[in-house]
Chains A and B, each alone.
Chain A
Amino acid sequence: MARLTLPAQELMYRGHAACPGCGPALAMRLLLKGLGPRTVLSIPACCWTVIATPFPTTALGVAVLDNPIESTGASISGLRAAADALHLPDVTVVGFAGDGGTADIGLQALSGMLERRTDAIFVMYDNEGYMNTGVQRSGATPQGAWTTTTPVEGTRRGKREPKKEIMAIVLAHRPAYAATVNPAFPEDFVRKVETARDVRGPRFLHALAPCPPGWRFSSEETIDLGRLATETGLFPLYEVEEGVYRITRRAGTLKPVAEYVHRQGRFRHWTEEEVEELQAATRAGWERLLRREQETAPSLPPPTPPIGGTPAPA
């Protein structure tokens, strides 16, 4: 057997009902590799409700509880309380919600869970819209993106408002651990999941999850687009533990955002000026993140391990 850079264990089963090239499916596969079998997942209404396949089958090799779209934060508080009350050992409690079920309708329950310091992991898989219902805008849809409710027609040019910054909202609650993950960088993804698994207290993972039908790109490009999201600085990979920021992937120079934008049908209507605006905002965001890292660094910052260099037990 060749050396694997990810755990061999497959807890997401084949046969699931995700679209070809589904980012959320790959995110789930990597997440469960990092979490292991003693995980209890709570999943609200989202793409994964359907992806996990109908009764009597399940695509998830762990214990799973369905919950309504808005209450994932509360559900994992309840699961944690029960696991503690029943003295169930080594249980990792995880909520896995889409961007709507996290940052829009699920925000109150998420805030409650973070504030009451539930010992659990909340994962937002961000496909930047209500994709299960057929591509409608969410608070996490990027500015200027086409969706069926933010058409490019008449006076409208896609979504008018900028993307909601869920990490900033989460970090305002001072979680024990928070990180961005991207399935295009699976070793970094799994390492952060393993880190999150072993930290106590409220933990949050923001997972980018490219959606071929929703973002209007061809299914084989999911990984390429994921890489570009990070390499352009649009979706930087970092983690925040006890308030200390650490960027986990540092490109020498950022790639132009145009490379990312021009490969997706949802941005097809964009002008050069719109691309330039995004470029400027992205650069500013990246610089802000660099400053954050410097400001919060302990006196001797730990060296950044190279991506893909963390071997995992096979």
Chain B
Amino acid sequence: MREIRFHGRGGQGAVVASELLAQAAFLDGKEPQSFPFFGVERRGAPVTAYARIDDRPIGLRTSIVAPDVVVVLDPGLLGTTPVTDGLRPGGLLLVNSARPPERLAVPPGVYRATVDATAIAVEHGLGSRTMPIVNTTVLGALARASGVVSLEALQRAIDRYVPSRPRENRAAAADGFASVRLLDAVVPPERLAVPVAPGASPTIPEGPVATVPSRSIRTAAWRTLTPEIELARCTRCNFCWKYCPDDAIELDAQGFPRIVLDSCKGCGICAAVCPPRTIAMVGLEEAA
């Protein structure tokens, strides 16, 4: 049995990707299973989906904690989500990224692969640069890098189950298959990345009463674009502050705005309402 875990953001198609993988594996004559993690699913928020593929009927109905393959649909998740948790030695981490796979930090004994799925998807007209629909491209890359499914079955599954633009999605899957970069070597132990520790479990009060302000929660991982303010042209009208739905803009003593980057979800409202247009929304890799 092969266990695959998908990490993406709400709206990006991680759940659809895992379902499509299951459909394709079925067309390959396998016994697949696919399910989402039902949590807070918000556009931009990190989401998880799972798939299992075997030759025999699958006798498990539990989350996947020790996957053979981890697929990351959005490179922005790498810094904030512990995507490699439980990834087995000999397993594979596949990330949608323009960067070479050598740049990925993974546990020892793990193979690495990247595919620039965003560029491929946009090229085929699938989504926009800020919200690319990368799932079919990434599945093409997965077919090549992991062998859990054949490209031919994947393309038949796309024809059957992808309602919009099946032709473009098929081509994107083929491009993902052709262009994935896979490192043959596994990571030696000394380059072990430090995994993100899960938060301590709170003490349970007698009644379900929540008292900890949410300010401690970082929602930066939701962001694909970051606002940058050109303060020299700022008129201190405070429109950006006034209209921010995330309370992610603070005004300093002089009335100049400052973006609270831990909290900003990158919606772009501040840039849209700024009368002198001093705020630009910048892509993550450009901003970094």
Contact = CB atoms under 8 A, between A and B. Distances in A.
Asked if A and B form a direct contact in the complex, defined as CB atoms under 8 angstroms apart, the reply is yes
Contacts of B43: 19-20, 212-213, 219
Contact of A17 (B42, B268, B271, B281): B42
A170 interface: no
A23 B215 contact: no
Interface in B240-254: 242-248, 251, 253-254
Contacts of B244: 26, 29
Interface residues of B, number: 46
Contacts of A18: 42, 245-246
Nearest to B218: A15
Contacts of A12: 247
A10 B222 CA distance: 22
Nearest to B238: A2
Given A53-B217, A219-B269, A223-B272, A21 B236 contact: no
Contacts of A1: 251, 253-255
A20 B266 contact: yes
B11 interface: yes
A154 interface: no
Contacts of A52: 214
Interface residues of A, number: 43
B194 interface: no
Question: Chain B binding site: helix, strand, loop or mixed by DSSP?
Answer: loop
B213 A61 contact: yes
A221 B260 CA distance: 21
B198 interface: no
Question: Chain A binding site: helix, strand, loop or mixed by DSSP?
Answer: loop
A220 B272 contact: yes
Interface in B1-56: 10-11, 40, 42-45
Given A1-B253, A20-B266, A14 B215 contact: yes
A13 B215 CA distance: 6
A57 B217 CA distance: 9
Contact of A56 (B211, B222, B223, B265): B211
Contacts of B242: 5-6, 186
A213 B214 CA distance: 23
A108 interface: no
A149 B43 CA distance: 20
B212 A56 contact: yes
B273 interface: yes
B267 to A, nearest CB: 4
B44 to A, nearest CB: 5
Contacts of A297: none
A74 interface: no
A57 B212 contact: yes
Interface in A64-97: none
A2 B214 contact: no
B147 interface: no
Most interface-central of A13, A14, A58, A218 (chain B CB within 10 A): A14
24 contacts: A1-B255, A13-B213, A13-B247, A15-B213, A15-B215, A15-B218, A15-B263, A17-B45, A21-B245, A23-B245, A25-B246, A29-B244, A29-B247, A56-B211, A57-B212, A57-B217, A58-B212, A59-B213, A59-B214, A61-B213, A184-B243, A218-B268, A220-B272, A223-B272
Given A17-B40, A26-B243, 19 more contacts: A2-B236, A2-B255, A12-B247, A14-B215, A14-B247, A15-B213, A16-B214, A20-B222, A20-B267, A21-B267, A21-B269, A54-B210, A57-B213, A57-B216, A58-B214, A212-B43, A219-B269, A222-B269, A223-B272
Interface of A: 1-2, 4-6, 10, 12-23, 25-26, 29, 50, 52-59, 61, 183-184, 186, 212-213, 218-224
Interface of B: 10-11, 40, 42-45, 202, 208, 210-219, 222-223, 236-238, 242-248, 251, 253-255, 260, 263, 265-269, 271-273, 281
